[in-house]
């Protein structure tokens, strides 16, 4: 019925611009141009009608579903979840899924695209998938279906191998992966998100100013939508420099880098700060599961903390995997594993061992690590130089002295 209506409209418009005998050529050309413009308008109307008819007949090929634990996400016409792969780079037109990956994941493609209400079709594109067949992408991210989702509404692929998540229409932060840098936060355009080692987590402020700020700027979104692996309660809004609003994660203010202009760019990672004596990397990609981080203090320099910014110490009398101080009343062993740390730290720099008292403890470059119970909040280092044998640890001392 809709096609007939559109046809009648179009026919009437064509009749209107028909050229009678004796009409001058310039007038005829003007009428032809008008006719072409009207044809384009009718075509757009037909597309809109097709979409409306599809919705009326419940034939949307791209839908939205909702899960209490995940939120809103894309599905196909049958209600099966659509996913993205953290190793892909959006906008490249390339899927990085290999033959082994394809035993569990199927590139998704559908034609025509009939999107449910609220979905912007402009955000979808067609790329060449890993098998050479067409594949649909959303905002440049190739889309997949998980073959272990046996029934509509299942999301068994969510968080699979810490590389796969459902695709949402309104992500503000995503998890992206590169072989060199691992899994980290990125924008929907796959640009890096960073933290500054000189900030103090949970201080509700940013410490960057002047030359320290360039080329970084505070990251802010009014609402946060992330993969369900990440706890949204760990995000907060703080007041950045000059009174600007800024998002913080685990209390650490977040930043973007203006040098990241293309998808996959992470030029801000390990970005160097120059001082009077040396060059230090003080900017790092933010990872959702850090448990060992690099921090900086103007007076004490660079030191190690846990993922929440709590200071870590070593005892000068300890030997490799053989701590001398065993009383845990004031010094408790740090034992968070597996280690997730900034890439500026050397590979295999940490090791978990079992102490003689049966407790597990992590060591960094042969130094067993401790918390001091007198530190009440992130940034405290009341245990530094205590009794002349307890000190914060400079993770770059092996490089810079």
pLDDT reported for residue 327: 81
Q: Which helix (H) or strand (E) holds 256?
A: strand 255-257
What distance in Å separates the CA atoms of residue 329 and residue 54, rounded to the nearest whole number?
68
What distance in Å separates the CA atoms of residue 77 and residue 125, rounded to the nearest whole number?
17
What distance in Å separates the CA atoms of residue 80 and residue 358, rounded to the nearest whole number?
48
CA distances from 289 to 145, 231, 336 (A): 26, 10, 11
Domain boundaries, the chain: 2-56, 63-170, 191-285, 293-400
CB 266 within 8 A of CB 218: no
Q: Residue for token digits 């030191």?
A: 303
pLDDT reported for residue 397: 77
Alpha helix (H) residue ranges in 18-127: 25-56
Across the beta sheet with 124-128, the strand order is 124-128, 134-138, 141-142
pLDDT reported for residue 220: 94
DSSP-assigned letter for residue 334: P
DSSP-assigned letter for residue 62: B
For residue 370, list its beta bridge partners. Answer: 313, 333
How do the pLDDT tens digits run along the chain, 401 residues long? Answer: 443 333 433 344 344 334 556 667 677 667 666 776 675 565 455 545 555 555 455 578 999 999 999 999 999 999 999 999 999 999 999 999 999 999 999 999 998 888 888 888 899 999 999 999 999 999 999 999 999 999 999 999 999 999 999 999 999 999 999 988 999 999 999 999 999 999 999 888 887 765 567 789 999 999 999 999 999 999 999 987 778 899 999 999 999 999 999 999 999 999 876 555 567 789 999 999 999 999 998 888 899 999 999 999 999 999 887 887 788 899 999 999 889 999 999 888 999 999 989 999 999 998 899 999 999 999 999 999 999 999 999 998 754 33
Query: Measured between alpha carbons, how far apart are the two ends of the chain, in Å?
Result: 80
CA distances from 284 to 196, 267, 346 (A): 7, 10, 14
What distance in Å separates the CA atoms of residue 328 and residue 361, rounded to the nearest whole number?
12
Residue 135, classed as helix, strand or coil, is strand
Helices (H) and strands (E) in the chain, counts: 3, 28
pLDDT reported for residue 45: 59
């Amino acid at each position: 019925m809709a096609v007939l209506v559109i046809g009648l409209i179009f026919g009437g418009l064509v009749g209107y611009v028909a050229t009678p005998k004796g009409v001058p050529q310039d007038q005829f050309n003007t009428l032809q141009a008008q006719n072409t413009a009207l044809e384009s308008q009718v075509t757009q109307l037909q597309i809109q009608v097709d979409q409306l008819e599809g919705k009326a007949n419940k034939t949307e090929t791209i839908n939205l579903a909702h899960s209490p634990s995940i939120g809103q996400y894309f599905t196909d016409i049958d209600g099966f979840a659509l996913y993205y792969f953290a190793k892909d780079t959006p906008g490249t037109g390339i899927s990085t899924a290999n033959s082994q990956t394809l035993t569990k994941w199927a590139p998704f493609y559908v034609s025509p695209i009939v999107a449910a209400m609220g979905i912007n079709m402009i955000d979808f594109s067609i790329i060449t998938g890993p098998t050479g067949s067409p594949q649909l992408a959303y905002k440049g991210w190739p889309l997949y279906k998980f073959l272990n989702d046996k029934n509509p509404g299942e999301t068994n692929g969510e968080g699979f191998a810490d590389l796969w998540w459902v695709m949402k229409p309104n992500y503000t932060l995503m998890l992206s992966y590169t072989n060199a840098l691992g899994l980290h936060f990125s924008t929907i355009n796959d640009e890096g998100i960073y933290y500054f080692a000189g900030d103090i987590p949970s201080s509700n402020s940013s410490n960057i100013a002047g030359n320290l700020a360039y080329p970084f700027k505070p990251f802010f979104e009014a609402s946060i939508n992330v993969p369900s692996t990440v706890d949204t309660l760990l995000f907060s809004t703080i007041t950045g420099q000059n009174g600007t609003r800024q998002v913080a994660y685990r209390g650490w203010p977040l930043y973007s880098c203006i040098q990241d202009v293309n998808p996959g760019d992470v030029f801000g990672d390990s970005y160097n700060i120059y001082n009077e004596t040396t060059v230090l990397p003080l900017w790092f990609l933010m990872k959702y599961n850090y448990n060992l981080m690099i921090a900086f203090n103007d007076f004490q320099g660079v030191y190690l903390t846990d993922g929440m910014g709590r200071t870590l110490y070593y005892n000068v009398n300890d030997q490799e995997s053989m701590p001398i101080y065993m009383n845990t009343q004031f010094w408790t062993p740090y034992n968070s594993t597996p280690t997730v740390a900034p890439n500026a730290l050397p590979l295999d720099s940490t090791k978990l061992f079992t102490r003689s008292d049966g407790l597990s403890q992590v060591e960094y470059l042969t130094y067993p690590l401790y918390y001091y119970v007198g530190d009440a909040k992130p940034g405290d280092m009341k245990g530094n130089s205590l009794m002349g044998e307890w000190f914060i640890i400079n993770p770059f001392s092996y490089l810079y002295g």
